[in-house]
C-alpha cells in the first residue's frame, strides 16, 4: 500500500513538472515573438554595400561648392578684343540721336553760323556770261518780252543740266515755283541778307536745310517762256532787308 502511494506521488510530480516545462517553453516562445515584432526587420533582398562603393556614390551625388575668392580655384583666362568691347559698349549705351549735318535734308542740330555782311563774298551759282544785268534805278530791255523793265536780279547764261551751287553758307527758307523764274530756292545768308536762285530743275535741297557754300542746289532747267529768247540761264537775286541789291559787286 505504501509503495502504491509512493508510485502515485511520483507520477503526479512528473506530470506537474512536465506541465511546468510546457508552460516555460510557451512563455519563452511568446517573448521571442514579441521581440521580433518590436525590432526593425531588414528587407530580404537588401544587401549591404561596401564602404568604398558607398563613399564613391556620395562623391558623385555631392554637388561641388564654389567658394568666392578661393585662391586655389583655377580661372580661365578670357581675352577680350577691341571689337567685342565696342559691341558691348554699344549694347549698354543708350541709342543716341544722330547729329544732323549741313546738307542732310533736315534742319541741322548744330546749325551753321550765317554771318554774311556787306563785306562778304558770294560764289557764282554757275559760271557764265550775264545776259541781263541788275537794274532797279533804270529799265533794261528784255528780248523775250520785247520791252523795257526793271530787273531785281541778274540772268546768268548756263547750259541745261549744269549744276547750280549755293553762293554762301545758308539756310533754305523756301523751295517753290514761280511762273517767271520757274523752280527756285530761297536762301537765308544771315544779317538780313537773302538770295534767290531760279530756273532750276531736280532741286536737291529741302526747306530748313543748312547748306555750305558751294553745295549743290539743283540743275539748270529749260528756260521759262519769259526767257525763251535769252536761252537757258540761272536767275539770281540778292536782297538786304527785303530790298534788292546788285549781286555783281559781291561775286568772287
What is the reported pLDDT for 234?
A: 98
- Return the number of other C-beta atoms located less than 10 Å from residue 150's C-beta: 12
- Identify the weakest region by mean pLDDT among 100-109, 156-165, 227-236, 242-251: 100-109
| pLDDT at 83 > cutoff 50 | yes
What distance in Å separates the CA atoms of residue 228 and residue 148, rounded to the nearest whole number?
Answer: 16
Q: In sequence order, which residues have a C-beta less than 8 Å from that of residue 43 and are 6 or more positions away? A: none
Average pLDDT of the chain is 79
Name the percent of the chain lying above pLDDT 90: 55
Average pLDDT over every residue of 33-42: 55
Q: Domain residue spans in the chain?
A: 130-250
What is the reported pLDDT for 63?
A: 47
Q: What is the pLDDT of residues 48-58, one digit of tens each?
A: 455 454 444 44
What is the reported pLDDT for 111?
A: 74
What is the reported pLDDT for 13?
A: 76
Spatial contact of 105 and 206, defined as CB atoms under 8 Å apart: yes
Look at 105 and 197; give whichever has higher pLDDT.
197
| pLDDT at 59 > cutoff 50 | no
What distance in Å separates the CA atoms of residue 92 and residue 86, rounded to the nearest whole number?
Answer: 10
| pLDDT at 216 > cutoff 60 | yes
CATH number of this structure's domain 130-250, picked from the four choices 3.30.200.20, 2.70.70.10, 3.30.360.10, 3.40.50.1100? 2.70.70.10
**What pTM did the predictor assign?**
0.59
What is the reported pLDDT for 27?
A: 74
Confidence of residue 21 (pLDDT cuts 50, 70, 90): confident
Identify the DSSP state of 248. Answer: G
What is the reported pLDDT for 9?
A: 67
- Identify the weakest region by mean pLDDT among 97-101, 113-117, 125-129, 229-233: 97-101
What is the reported pLDDT for 26?
A: 75
Spatial contact of 236 and 154, defined as CB atoms under 8 Å apart: yes
What distance in Å separates the CA atoms of residue 8 and residue 30, rounded to the nearest whole number?
Answer: 33
Amino acid at each position: 500500500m505504501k509503495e502504491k502511494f509512493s508510485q502515485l506521488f511520483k507520477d503526479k510530480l512528473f506530470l506537474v513538472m512536465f506541465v511546468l516545462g510546457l508552460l516555460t517553453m510557451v512563455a519563452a516562445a511568446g517573448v521571442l515573438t514579441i521581440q521580433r515584432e518590436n525590432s526593425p526587420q531588414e528587407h530580404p533582398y537588401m544587401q549591404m554595400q561596401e564602404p568604398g562603393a558607398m563613399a564613391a556614390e556620395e562623391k558623385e551625388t555631392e554637388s561641388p561648392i564654389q567658394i568666392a575668392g578661393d585662391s586655389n580655384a583655377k580661372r580661365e583666362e578670357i581675352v577680350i578684343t577691341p571689337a567685342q568691347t565696342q559691341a558691348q559698349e554699344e549694347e549698354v549705351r543708350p541709342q543716341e540721336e544722330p547729329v544732323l549735318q549741313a546738307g542732310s535734308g533736315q534742319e541741322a542740330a548744330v546749325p551753321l553760323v550765317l554771318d554774311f555782311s556787306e563785306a562778304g563774298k558770294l560764289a557764282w551759282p554757275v559760271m557764265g556770261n550775264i545776259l541781263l544785268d541788275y537794274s532797279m534805278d533804270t529799265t533794261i530791255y528784255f528780248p523775250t518780252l520785247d520791252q523795257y523793265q526793271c530787273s531785281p536780279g541778274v540772268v546768268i547764261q548756263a547750259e541745261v543740266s549744269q549744276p547750280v551751287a549755293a553762293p554762301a553758307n545758308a539756310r533754305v527758307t523756301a523751295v517753290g515755283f514761280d511762273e517767271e523764274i520757274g523752280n527756285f530756292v530761297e536762301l537765308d545768308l544771315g544779317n538780313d541778307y537773302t538770295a534767290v536762285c531760279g530756273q532750276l530743275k531736280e532741286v536737291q535741297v529741302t526747306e530748313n536745310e543748312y547748306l555750305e557754300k558751294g553745295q549743290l542746289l539743283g540743275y539748270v532747267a529749260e528756260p521759262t517762256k519769259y526767257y525763251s529768247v535769252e536761252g537757258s540761264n540761272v536767275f539770281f537775286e540778292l536782297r538786304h532787308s527785303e530790298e534788292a541789291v546788285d549781286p555783281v559787286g559781291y561775286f568772287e
